[in-house]
Amino acid sequence: MSQSMLHNPAAERAVLSGICSHGIDAFVDVDGIVESDSFVIEENQIIYKCLKKVFEESSVIDISSVLAAANDLGFGENFKDKEAVEHLRGVYNFPIELENVRNHAVKIRKLQLARDIQRQVKIVHANISDITGDESVNEIISIAEAPIMELSHAFNRSDDDKPNKIGSEIEEYIAHLEENPTEMVGISSGYARYDEAIGGGFRRKCVDLVAARPKVGKSVFAENVALHVSGKLKIPVLMLDTEMSKEDHLNRILANLSDTSINDISTGSFAENDCVRSKVKEAASEVQDIPYDYISIAGRSFEETLSIMRRWIFQKVGFDKNGRVNDCLIVYDYLKLMSSGQISDSLREFQVLGFQMTSLHNFCVQYDCPCLSFVQLNRDGITRETTDVVSGSDRLIWLCTSFSIFKNKSIEEVAEDGDDNGNKKLVPIICRHGPALSDTDYINMTMYGEQAKLIEGKTRNEVKLKTKEKDEGFIVNDDIESQAEEDTDQSLERLSEIIDEGKK
């Protein structure tokens, strides 16, 4: 079908006539669907712009007001031609029922989408012609699919690009909250204290960042979160891994779910014990049914990775009836340069990482999904716990929703907290939506490396409070202590009354 066939003059006239006949009621009904570019005939584009201009100041439409709007918009010359005026009169006098106007608007909007796709296909054809053969298969596919997917997403999502009064629909919002109570705003990580610190789990449109030194357990952290979200919550998870193979992940997952040593899994020695073998088989059966997708992105360009994420959302996650992406979580382990070729004389490493974080953040905003990402701590992160210990770029901190540090506890911290309060610590430092933790406080975490398990414990302050309570017999807290003293005084007074009554 040629582009000349991708329009419907009768539907275009019906929409414009409906607005002229029924005024603001018809305009409001179609304005969120069509725009001036939805009309192919130039005269119809101009008339729609003029009608929109009229409604900025009035709710009444007549030919003189349309002509006045045309002069204000610089289209006065277009209506000096007799045929143009006759066309406007024909539009104004064309009969149509109000309930039919929206149907015609939808029709011409679909034709506009078809024309947009047609244009994108031509661009794709031109870009494909520049392929040299050095590109990866995914990069080549991305050239074709990315523009079409972007169009599809733009067409399906709600019209949210216009400013609206902040209080509009607030009653409906309150009703929605009342009818759909939830314990958490976002997706739970499986770690209650961490969820609370960052403001209710992983929220849509947000990138939550966790930084750690090499070999501390970033991947174990990522794996445990992914297993909780996909296994317990049954929410799709995409694991983007820059280092580990699929077999490495399977070994850790099976070890985690069966409480078996990773070495026993990887060497196959688990099969020597029937009980252990049964647990591993049961874990394998469980893994088959969870919505957990994995892909190695080692050596891939960041643009290719974004294409993979986009394709996963369209193919595996999907959209609800309102065009909103269904619940999902992307785990990116971890942000780094994939090759030295990304660095040039004009672009340094920290700038490349900054651009990656910007693109990742924009992706999450555009597709309304959350992302848990990891990044490397520099050497300062061994002893310090501030935002300047991230390798790469300040921009990683600027654009993340929460920033936490995951690290080994020092010998002194283990001694102070006690051996049963973990060997790792998680320190939420910046949290846009949550309270984070108070200074010097952290969440105790226990990592069982052999089973790839990470367990959340109490916070440091909770441990200190519990220890003080145990040592002194009561919690030393001003409010609680005052209440205790008051209760004691009342008890003594009552005892005194009883003694006096006994004497009488």
Other Cβ atoms closer than 10 A to 469: 14
Q: Tell me, what's the pLDDT at 116?
A: 87
Containing 11, the helix (H) or strand (E) segment is helix 9-22
pLDDT for res 495: 45
Rg (CA), the chain: 31
- pLDDT of 317 > 80? The answer is yes
Mean pLDDT of 237-262: 95
pLDDT at residue 488 in the model: 47
Question: If pLDDT is split at 50, 70 and 90, which confidence band does 496 have?
Answer: low
CA distance 294 to 136: 19
Is the C-alpha dihedral spanning 175, 176, 178, 179 positive or negative?
A: positive
Question: Would you call 239 helix, strand, or coil by DSSP?
Answer: strand
pLDDT at 343: 37
Taking the CA atoms of 339, 345, 350 and 352 in sequence, report the sign of the dihedral they define. Answer: negative
Q: Give CA torsion, residues 133, 136, 141, 142, to 10 deg.
A: -120
Instruction: Name which residue leads in pLDDT, 18 or 392.
Output: 18
AA letter at 498: I
Pairing of strands 443-448, 292-296: unpaired
Q: How far apart are CA 138 and CA 136, in angstroms?
A: 5
Residue 78 burial (10 A CB sphere; 0-12, 13-18, 19+): middle
Is the pLDDT confidence value at 467 over 80?
no
The tokens for 2 are: 């040629």
Q: For 364-424, what is the HEC assignment?
A: HHHHCCCEEEEEEECHHHHCCCCHHHECCCHHHHHHCCEEEEEEECCHHHHHHHCHHHCCE
Place of tokens 């049954």: 234
DSSP designation for 434: S
Q: Measured between alpha carbons, how far is residue 219 from residues 37, 103, 249 in Å?
A: 49, 52, 9
Provide mean pLDDT across the span 452-474. Answer: 85
Q: Residues 229, 232, 235, 238: is their CA dihedral positive or negative?
A: positive
**Residue 346's pLDDT band (boundaries 50, 70, 90)?**
very low
Strand, helix or coil for residue 176: helix
Biggest alpha carbon–alpha carbon distance for the chain: 117
Q: Whole-model pTM?
A: 0.67
The pLDDT tens digits of the residues spanning 269-314 come to 999 999 999 999 999 999 999 999 999 998 888 888 888 998 899 8
CB neighbourhood size of 126 (10 A): 9
Compute the residue count for the chain. Answer: 504
Per-residue pLDDT tens over the stretch 146-176: 777 666 656 554 445 556 678 878 888 888 7
Q: What is the pLDDT of residues 118-137, one digit of tens each?
A: 888 888 888 888 888 888 77
